[in-house]
Amino acid sequence: MQGWSITSEGDSDQGRILRRVLFAIVAGGMAHTLVCWIAAQLDFFRGGGNAFAQLFTLIWSGHLLLIVITLLGFNRLFRDPSMTLPILWWSTLVLLVSAWYVDEVRLCVMLLFFAILQMGVFRCRTRELVLLAVVCVSAYLGILLALNHWYPEALDMTAELIQWATFVLMTLAVIILADEISAIRLKLSERNRQLGDIVDRIQNLAVRDELTGLYNRRYAMERLGKIREMADRGAFGVVAAYADLDHFKQINDQHGHALGDQVLRDFARLTGNLLSGRDFCARYGGEEFLLVLVKSDQAQAEALLDELRDNLAQAHFPQAPALRVTVSIGLAAYRPGEALDAWLGRADEALYQAKGMGRNRVITAEG
């Protein structure tokens, strides 16, 4: 059985639930027991001390059962691990049972129901509280009618019905307030969700290009620096490549920037289809991209990048059926101990060679 160490998020949540259950049951149970004990001392408890002791032994046995269920972690099997609804229903049942035995101060006992409702305002749906309230006021009325039938001498029915009507009105007011609080809670939850989406978007924009979804230049250089350090320790080979879309300015001028953006997105998609999880591609600027192939040798990189070049050359664009887009690529395998600028400089020189030799080709840096 898992202990109560809060070394993980799940254990921490379970610990908070246990403390909440303990407080709700112990504090609520003590308040209820005290009110009924005072009634017993005033001789308003039907059956006297023996009935009081037997009833509250049974009630506290139920309280302890709820605590043990939570302590052993069985509450995790429920839809709501916080045990809010089971505690609300059990506490309401306890009030109704004690209302059968308490005379004269029955309303004082039933007023504890509002403390029960307050516990569920922030954790239950409004319809769940409404159902609980309807059952409570109906059962309260049923208890009064049964007492009037079996023990007519024990109560003033007119006064009891007035108290019951007061209880109903107060319960209705609490339910209306709970509905308002629930609406506010839902709005806050939606605002928090929207705020979370905004934070995620900001964090995403900090590392990714908004148009293509690829890494941006700053983050790519940070990640490449770490990969280079690992490669220096002989962990693996790595290849860096610059890719530049050929005559991209003409595409924008002849077909519009919307199609140009689509070309960039399609190149990013084709690249993502070929790269493994350890590799990455970044938009380096404009129509230029940086590809980093981890655990790849020169031959493997050449084959993969040539496949990328061929896939792009065969891509079709419905907005411009006659358009064919090509890419020039220069790559360089990392040399252990080589400076980052020198490594990328060799890849850049290979790219210029590819463009000078007629574009639409993959060129590997010497050495």
* Strand pairing category for 238-245 and 327-333: antiparallel
Phi-psi sector, 276: left (phi>0), alpha (psi -120 to 50), beta? beta
* Strand pairing category for 238-245 and 288-294: antiparallel
User: What are 207-222's pLDDT values in tens digits?
Assistant: 899 899 999 999 999 9
Structure tokens at 328: 């020039």
Under the banding of pLDDT at 50, 70 and 90, the label for residue 6 is: very low
Give yes or no for residue 3 having a pLDDT over 50: no
Q: Among all residues, which ones are annotated catalytic?
A: 287
Closest to 287 in 3D by CA, of 305, 260, 308, 269:
260
The residues pairing with 333 across neighbouring beta strands, listed in sequence order, are 239
Mean pLDDT calculated for residue range 216-244: 91
Residue count of the chain: 367
Higher pLDDT residue, 327 or 21?
Answer: 327
Cα–Cα distance between 47 and 40 in angstroms, integer? Answer: 9
pTM for this prediction: 0.59
pLDDT for the residue 11: 63
What domains are defined for the chain? 9-201 (no CATH), 217-364 (3.30.70.270)
Mean residue pLDDT of the chain comes to 90
pLDDT for the residue 13: 79
pLDDT for the residue 329: 97
Check: CB of residue 52 under 8 Å from CB of residue 41: no
pLDDT for the residue 167: 96
User: What are 171-197's pLDDT values in tens digits?
Assistant: 999 999 988 988 888 888 889 888 888
pLDDT for the residue 7: 40
Alpha helices of 42-156 — where are they, by DSSP H?
48-71, 84-101, 106-110, 113-121, 126-150
Cα–Cα distance between 18 and 2 in angstroms, integer? Answer: 14
E strands of 231-287, at which residues?
238-245, 280-285
